[in-house]
Amino acid sequence: MGELCISIQQNKLSRWQQAFPDGALIEAVSQLVDAVDGADGDGTIWLHADGFSHQQVIQCLEQLRQMRPTCRPIVISCVPDAARAMLFFQHGAMGYCHAMATPEMFHQVALVVRNGGLWLGQDMMSRLAGVFGNMENTAQPSLLEKLSNREQQVAMLVATGASNKEIAHTLEITERTVKAHMGSILEKLALRDRLQLALLITPQKN
């Protein structure tokens, strides 16, 4: 399956190109329609944020969501930023990582996202937790008490960035059961998505 990356600073994508030598690069959001039509609608599509305004990245994410609802966008940047990461996730991104990551790391990111996981990485997760510093750790235990033991196990694995497939393997249950637990967890905790759950559970460092 070919990979697609939208970038206007392709000279900064040497490692991405090493990871995906058959990947396609386009330079402008206006080229998106033709490029995506030729790509796997269920695959990962990378957005290189450098050189684009955050509004342009958001616009691209919204176009992807409308045109290919099942695709999994991953935003990459040479200067990762926690606040912008949160904004991108709110608009449909499934991953966020450094544009100068190793080729091996790019493969790992793609695998996790394709399998239904959320990719942040430990460093970015810590930064995001800092952005939401008003979430008190003392409230977490009482919130988690609303969950069954199995739901707590699933929630803790989600906080590590594990995909549904990985959670199912770890707990020796089916992916369908994992999805059912996730639905129940989000409903009980009044959360919108996996990112909010991960941020709620991830310990914050003062």
Please report, for the domain that includes residue 188, its CATH number: 1.10.10.10
The torsion angle over the Cα atoms of residues 50, 56, 59 and 61, rounded to 10 degrees, is 0
The set of residues, in sequence order, having a beta carbon less than 8 Å from that of 118 and lying 6+ positions away, is 89, 94, 95, 112, 158, 161, 194, 195, 198
Percent of the chain with pLDDT strictly greater than 70: 79
Sequence-distant (≥ 6) Cβ neighbours of residue 45 within 8 angstroms: 3, 4, 5, 6, 36, 39, 64, 68, 71, 72, 73, 74
Which string of b and e fits 166-188 if b means at least 16 CB within 10 Å? bbbeeeebebeebeebbebbbee
Flag whether pLDDT at 82 surpasses 90: no
Q: Is the pLDDT of residue 15 over 90?
A: yes
- pLDDT band for position 134 (cuts 50, 70, 90): very low
Sorting pLDDT into bands at 50, 70 and 90, what band is 165?
confident
Asked if the structure places residue 126 within a domain, the reply is no
Q: What is the mean pLDDT of the chain?
A: 80
Average pLDDT estimate for 154-182: 88
**198 alpha-carbon distance from chain centroid:** 11
32 and 60 share one domain? yes
Of the given ranges (78-82, 89-93, 126-130, 180-184), which has the lowest mean pLDDT? 126-130
The domain that holds 110 is classified in CATH as 3.40.50.2300
Alpha carbons within 13 A on the beta-carbon side of 118? 24
Number of domains in the chain: 2
**Residues 48, 105: one domain?**
yes
Residue 92: is its pLDDT beyond 70? yes
Residue 68, domain extent: 4-121
135-164: average pLDDT: 76
Read off the pLDDT band of 113 (50, 70, 90).
confident
* Amino acid 135: pLDDT: 44
Q: What is the mean pLDDT of residues 61-79?
A: 87
Q: Which residue has the higher pLDDT, 165 or 174?
A: 174
